[in-house]
């Protein structure tokens, strides 16, 4: 089975392979405010463990050395944890490889197409982000 899947993936042109999805997330957990780890159902009876960076939003970093940003990061992670529980089952779409190996950027949605990125921004735990330099979180 894997041989045929690999052959199929090799035949897809780069333009067609730019974005993938939608996929269902199995047992998602928040790594931080804008990253989720989950098993992703990519094929019948085939799942992949993946780190998923929520596209369109930036949240404070848990690895921050500034206490203010670290406290904001904890709140963002707690918000994402609660959102995951309230919005299950989650889906991802517009999936593409992230700049960091082993991680993927994706639009994350919950019930009725609710966007995690929008929820984080609306709740004040994140800000719109489309790449490039990140701004600081504390004065």
Is residue 139 very low, low, confident or very high in pLDDT (cuts 50, 70, 90)?
A: confident
Global pTM reads: 0.83
Q: Kindly tell me if the per-residue pLDDT of 5 is higher than 90.
A: no
Q: How far apart are the first and last CA of the chain?
A: 55
Q: Kindly tell me if the per-residue pLDDT of 37 is higher than 90.
A: yes
Q: What is the pLDDT of residue 131?
A: 84
Q: Kindly tell me if the per-residue pLDDT of 6 is higher than 50.
A: no
Distance CA 51, CA 31 (A): 8
Q: What is the pLDDT of residue 101?
A: 84
Residue 120 in contact with residue 129, Cβ under 8 Å?
Answer: no
Maximum distance among all Cα pairs of the chain, rounded to whole angstroms: 55
Is residue 20 very low, low, confident or very high in pLDDT (cuts 50, 70, 90)?
A: confident
b/e per residue, 117-130, with b = 16+ CB within 10 A?
bebbbeeebbeebe
pLDDT per residue as tens digits for the range 66-125: 999 999 999 999 999 999 999 999 999 999 998 888 899 999 999 989 999 999 999 999
What pairs with residue 58 in β-bridges? 127
% of residues, the chain, pLDDT over 70: 87
Q: What is the mean pLDDT of the chain?
A: 88
How many whole angstroms from its chain centre is CA 63? 18
How many whole angstroms from its chain centre is CA 66? 24
Q: Kindly tell me if the per-residue pLDDT of 8 is higher than 50.
A: no
Q: Kindly tell me if the per-residue pLDDT of 17 is higher than 60.
A: no
List phi, psi (to 5°) of 59: -125, 165
* Contacts of residue 115, Cβ cutoff 8 Å, sequence gap at least 6: 56, 107, 108, 109
């Amino acid at each position: 089975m894997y041989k045929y899947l690999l052959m199929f993936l090799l035949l897809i042109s780069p333009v067609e392979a730019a974005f993938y999805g939608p996929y269902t997330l199995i047992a998602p957990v928040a790594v931080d405010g804008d990253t989720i780890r989950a098993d992703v159902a990519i094929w019948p009876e085939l799942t992949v463990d993946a780190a998923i960076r929520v596209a369109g939003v930036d949240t404070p970093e848990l690895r921050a050395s500034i206490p203010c940003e670290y406290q904001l990061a904890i709140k963002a992670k707690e918000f994402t944890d609660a959102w995951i529980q309230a919005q299950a089952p989650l889906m991802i779409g517009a999936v593409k490889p992230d700049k960091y190996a082993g991680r993927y950027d994706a639009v994350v949605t919950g019930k009725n197409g609710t966007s995690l990125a929008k929820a984080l921004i609306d709740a004040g735990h994140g800000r719109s982000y489309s790449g490039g330099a990140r701004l600081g979180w504390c004065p």
